[in-house]
């Protein structure tokens, strides 16, 4: 029977284990190889909603080649977009409800969700695997119906700490039946889930991904001049993240104005490409910021991805800046912070909990609580290149030891083995 509801994601990327083992401390490396050899001959199937776009697809695109390189047979399937808008409309409501939005799902919609989930499950049953890894709530029910005797893991990539109860009540019995439930952050775990099943996998960046490319600053500045019109010779401060109120770009502009009293030739770049198909909130935030920034020739905003190579521009901005700031007041983790730290940037972060997990104030970056404090740290660092270097080197070490993909792969291997034991 041809697959209708699921499609296999074909990955052209191949990884050699030597490419990433070099990033691992000796003990971690030994442990990784041991866990991998214990899984030889076992098959893992990962399922998620969409094959491209979004953080989950990005994780799987890196994870699967790593697992394969370690001899763990792994495949990735996603829902065929042809399954229909109706299904995705319902699952989008479920997704929002799990993050706390009050949504209405009527009986007809629940029935449709169940019916399509049964069909997805029938196709899942035909996939040969020892462990079934379900990512995203879209497949929660299908994963529940499928492979009744197999080990199943639910990866919740979202914050379920304050769910919309009427929807949660329907789904929580299903979630509880999974063998393990994985979150990226302890704060995201809903209190009604059984603690013994819950695991936390801290996010990580893939050092082999083009996103993490290290480029000499001079080259990156030339790129920004060519593709963004940013002069090369002035001190450059950058925040690289979506235009979102919780990322607080307005606060960055406020502190930049203070910095300009000491460094009148400083430049600020805010990169937040609007790559989501439909994100009206980002547009509103961007418009407000653009209105404020229009008074200054030294502030450069990048929002519309048209005509830009978003990946390359983002990477170049991370490499080009003299100082990277991430002024978030709310942040689950903040991969942009990790990415900049990996590029040896001295990052000045806002007080959000995700940023505090990565930056230890004064050791590998700074944490600030106000625009004035941010300005003070920017001025301090602009005048002290050696201090910038010290913090940047320490930041790189922090990422290497804690937030790099091989560590996440080890988390996965240990989990699969614990399921199979
Ligand atoms: N990003 C990008 N271009 C941009 C802004 C962000 O490629 O203009 C990427 C960034 O490199 C990171 C991700 O989007 O990998 C954002 O992840 P993060 O955890 O920092 O924040 P989120 O947007 O998920 O809240």
Q: Give the residue, 226 or 2, on which the prediction is more confident.
A: 226
Q: Is the pLDDT of residue 304 over 90?
A: yes
The encoded tokens of residue 259 equal 């910095």
The atom number, within ligand 1, closest to the CA of 272 reads 8
Q: What does pLDDT average to over the chain?
A: 95
Q: Could you tell me if the CB of 299 is within 6 A of ligand 1?
A: no
What's the pLDDT at 378? Answer: 98
272 C-alpha to ligand 1 centroid (Å): 8
Is 314 strand, coil or helix? helix
| Average pLDDT for 340-365 | 97
Q: Could you tell me if the CB of 206 is within 6 A of ligand 1?
A: no
What's the pLDDT at 278? Answer: 64
Please name each of the domains of the chain with its CATH number: 6-206+404-420 (3.40.50.2000), 210-402 (3.40.50.2000)
Q: Could you tell me if the CB of 230 is within 6 A of ligand 1?
A: no
DSSP 22: T
Q: Which mutation among 318, 336, 337, 345 tests ligand 1's pocket best, with the greatest number of atoms within 8 A of CB?
A: 336
Q: Could you tell me if the CB of 59 is within 6 A of ligand 1?
A: no
What's the pLDDT at 53? Answer: 80
Q: Could you tell me if the CB of 203 is within 6 A of ligand 1?
A: no
108 C-alpha to ligand 1 centroid (Å): 37
Q: What is the pLDDT of residues 65-88, one digit of tens each?
A: 999 999 999 999 999 988 888 999
Q: What is the pLDDT of residues 106-142, one digit of tens each?
A: 999 999 999 999 999 999 999 999 999 999 899 999 9
Is 310 strand, coil or helix? helix
Query: Using CA atoms in the order 67, 70, 73, 74, what is the torsion angle rounded to 10 degrees?
Result: 10
Confidence of residue 398 (pLDDT cuts 50, 70, 90): very high
Q: Is the pLDDT of residue 269 over 60?
A: yes
The encoded tokens of residue 370 equal 């106000």
Confidence of residue 97 (pLDDT cuts 50, 70, 90): very high
What does residue 177 show for φ and ψ, rounded to 5 degrees? Answer: -80, -10
Q: Is the pLDDT of residue 392 over 90?
A: yes
Q: Which mutation among 211, 314, 342 tests ligand 1's pocket best, with the greatest number of atoms within 8 A of CB?
A: 314
Q: Which mutation among 209, 275, 335 tests ligand 1's pocket best, with the greatest number of atoms within 8 A of CB?
A: 335
| Residue 10, C-beta contacts closer than 8 angstroms, at least 6 positions apart | none
| Average pLDDT for 381-401 | 97
Strand spans (E) along 308-352: 323-326, 347-349
The atom number, within ligand 1, closest to the CA of 311 reads 7
Confidence of residue 3 (pLDDT cuts 50, 70, 90): low
Q: Is the pLDDT of residue 2 over 70?
A: no
What's the pLDDT at 421? Answer: 83
Q: Is the pLDDT of residue 1 over 70?
A: no
| Average pLDDT for 58-65 | 97
The atom number, within ligand 1, closest to the CA of 211 reads 11
């Amino acid at each position: 029977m041809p697959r209708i509801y699921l499609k296999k994601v074909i990955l052209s990327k191949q990884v050699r284990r030597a490419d990433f083992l070099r990033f691992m401390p000796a003990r971690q490396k030994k442990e990784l190889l041991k866990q991998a050899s214990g899984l030889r001959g076992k098959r893992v199937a990962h399922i998620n909603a969409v094959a491209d776009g979004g953080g989950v697809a990005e994780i799987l695109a890196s994870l699967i080649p790593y697992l394969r390189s370690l001899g763990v047979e792994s495949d990735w399937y996603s829902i065929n977009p042809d399954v229909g808008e109706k299904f995705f409309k319902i699952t989008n409501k479920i997704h929002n409800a799990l993050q706390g939005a009050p949504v209405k799902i009527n009986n007809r919609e629940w029935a449709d969700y169940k019916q399509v989930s049964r069909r997805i499950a029938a196709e899942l049953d035909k996939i040969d695997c020892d462990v079934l890894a379900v990512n995203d709530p879209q497949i929660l029910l299908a994963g529940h119906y499928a492979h009744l005797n197999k080990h199943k893991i639910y990866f919740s990539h979202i914050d379920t700490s304050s769910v919309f109860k009427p929807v949660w009540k329907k789904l929580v019995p299903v979630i509880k039946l999974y063998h393990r439930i994985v979150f990226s952050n302890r704060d995201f775990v809903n209190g009604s889930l059984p603690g013994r099943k819950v695991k936390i996998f801290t996010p990580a960046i893939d050092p082999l991904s083009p996103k993490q490319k290290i480029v000499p600053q001079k080259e990156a500045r030339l790129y920004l001049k060519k593709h963004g019109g940013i002069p090369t010779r002035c001190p450059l401060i950058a925040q690289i993240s979506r235009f979102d109120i919780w990322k607080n770009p307005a606060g960055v502009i406020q502190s930049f104005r203070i910095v300009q009293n000491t460094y009148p030739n400083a430049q600020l770049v805010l990169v937040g490409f609007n790559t989501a198909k439909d994100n009206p909130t980002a547009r509103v935030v961007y418009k407000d910021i653009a209105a404020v920034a229009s008074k200054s020739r030294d502030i450069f905003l990048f929002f519309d991805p048209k005509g830009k190579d978003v990946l390359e521009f983002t990477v170049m901005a991370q490499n080009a800046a003299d100082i990277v700031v991430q002024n978030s007041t709310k942040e689950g983790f903040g991969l942009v912070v990790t990415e900049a730290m990996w590029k040896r940037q001295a990052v000045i972060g806002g007080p959000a909990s995700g940023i505090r997990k990565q930056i230890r104030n004064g050791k590998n970056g700074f944490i600030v609580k106000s625009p004035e404090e941010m300005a003070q740290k920017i001025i301090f660092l602009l005048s002290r290149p050696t201090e910038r270097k010290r913090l940047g080197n320490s930041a790189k070490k922090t990422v290497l030891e804690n937030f790099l993909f091989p560590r996440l792969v080890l988390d996965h291997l240990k989990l699969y083995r614990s399921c199979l034991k």
